Amino acid sequence: MEKKINLKVKENDKNFRLDVFISNNSKEISRTRIKNLILDKKLKINNKIILDPAKKLNPGDKINLIIPEPKKSSLKPYKYKLNIVYEDEDLIVLNKPSGIVMHPGAGNFDNTIVNALINYDKDSLSSIGDKLRPGIVHRIDKNTSGLVVIAKNNQSHENLSLQFSKHSITRIYQLLVWGKIRPSKGKIETLITRSSKNRQMMMVSNSKGKKAITNYQTIELFENKSIPTLSLLECKLETGRTHQIRVHMNFLGNSIVGDDKYKKKFKKIKNINPLLEEKIINLKRQFLHAKTIGFIHPKKNKQMIFNSILPKELETILKMLRKTSK
């Protein structure tokens, strides 16, 4: 059943952005979804369809927003064992392995986390937003592992989306990068936009894009004559832009080990332990793991924090580095 939001602009709301005004006056729907509904011709101001989410409002404007009934998914189930860390009637916390994408897209419509969720319980996923992404509130890259939260109903989806949009979700990643980070602890604050040379990549920009903030600290440094200099970091996100950590590390000149898109070339290290060299060269993923996620439960209204250990293929490299660097 479709829903309607009807609002009237007051004098003190003059010149507010349309999407911001609706978001401030309707706590049940995220700003991202408001924007998508506007672009989908679901909003009228004074009985005229408006397609500009950034339109400035005038006192007396009457706003009518239609929230359509969710569409049923036609996605195929994928028989895949999900690593479920936590589940209740409102959400699922998954520990996603590397090598599988979150949702269907170009070239892969069947073998994704979404398809696996459809196979697991097709009737218990949120159905708002993109019909190819039921339950998906946020994403991590195909070759990144770690924790993600899945919404099982629309109320939970909207609530979690709002927490992400307000940057109140706790997200901590563990990663191994080339070289030594200077300073060893700090904050990276830049704009990130799509690359003009490769539309599948992102880049730091001085003048355009979205604000991206990554807090980092060095946990462990591996440095001697028999191994390349490597740093184990933890990054805490304040924002969640596409490829944010990967772009920021590459921007610093310390790209993530195993990252084929955002990488820096290093000269061959002589006398390196051959087993360690083989493990690093043959790593079929980036050394990036979403180890911690924390949020306020959408129904219980209590803080929930989940942690995940490094997968075996990453922990093996760390053990070899610790042994070799002694």
Residue-wise pLDDT for 181-216, tens only, equals 999 999 999 999 999 889 889 999 999 999 999 999
Average pLDDT, the chain: 91
DSSP state of 269: P
Is residue 250 scored above 70 in pLDDT?
A: yes
pLDDT value of residue 56: 94
Q: In CATH, what number is assigned to the domain containing residue 292?
A: 3.30.2350.10
Higher pLDDT: 307 or 130? It is 307
pLDDT value of residue 239: 94
As a whole number of angstroms, the distance between CA 81 and CA 64 comes to: 44
Is residue 224 scored above 90 in pLDDT?
A: no
Examine the domain organization and report whether 111 and 253 are in the same domain: no
Task: Name the least confident of 42-56, 76-90, 118-132, 299-313.
Answer: 118-132
Closest CA to 34 of 63, 67, 6: 67
Examine the domain organization and report whether 204 and 313 are in the same domain: yes
Closest CA to 65 of 91, 29, 105, 98: 29
Examine the domain organization and report whether 132 and 252 are in the same domain: no
Task: Judge whether 73 lies within some domain.
Answer: no
Closest CA to 141 of 256, 234, 232: 256
Task: Judge whether 143 lies within some domain.
Answer: yes
The mean per-residue pLDDT over the stretch 252-266 comes to 86
Catalytic annotation, residues: 141
Examine the domain organization and report whether 90 and 8 are in the same domain: no
283 is in which domain, residue-wise?
170-324
pLDDT value of residue 290: 98
**What are the tens digits of pLDDT across the range 155-188?**
999 999 999 988 999 999 999 999 999 999 999 9
The mean per-residue pLDDT over the stretch 85-108 comes to 94
As a whole number of angstroms, the distance between CA 176 and CA 228 comes to: 12
Structural contact between residues 17 and 54, judged by C-beta atoms closer than 8 angstroms: yes
pLDDT band at 268 (very low <50, low <70, confident <90, very high): low
As a whole number of angstroms, the distance between CA 278 and CA 232 comes to: 19
Q: In CATH, what number is assigned to the domain containing residue 51?
A: 3.10.290.10
Examine the domain organization and report whether 154 and 50 are in the same domain: no
**The pair of three-digit structure tokens given for residue 186, joined into one six-digit string:** 């700090």
Based on the structure, what is the number of domains in the chain? Answer: 3
pLDDT value of residue 71: 63
Examine the domain organization and report whether 128 and 59 are in the same domain: no
pLDDT value of residue 325: 65
**What are the tens digits of pLDDT across the range 98-114?**
999 999 987 788 999 99
Examine the domain organization and report whether 178 and 289 are in the same domain: yes
DSSP state of 108: B
Q: Indicate the residue among 165, 198, 219 that finishes a domain.
A: 165
pTM for this prediction: 0.81
Q: Three-class SS of residue 188? A: strand
Examine the domain organization and report whether 305 and 235 are in the same domain: yes
Residue reference for tokens 């709002």: 162
**Cβ neighbours of residue 144 closer than 8 Å, sequence gap 6 or more:** 96, 98, 285, 286, 288, 289, 290
pLDDT value of residue 276: 85
Task: Judge whether 79 lies within some domain.
Answer: no
DSSP state of 146: E
Examine the domain organization and report whether 177 and 317 are in the same domain: yes
pLDDT value of residue 53: 92
Q: Indicate the residue among 67, 95, 121 that finishes a domain.
A: 67
Examine the domain organization and report whether 110 and 176 are in the same domain: no
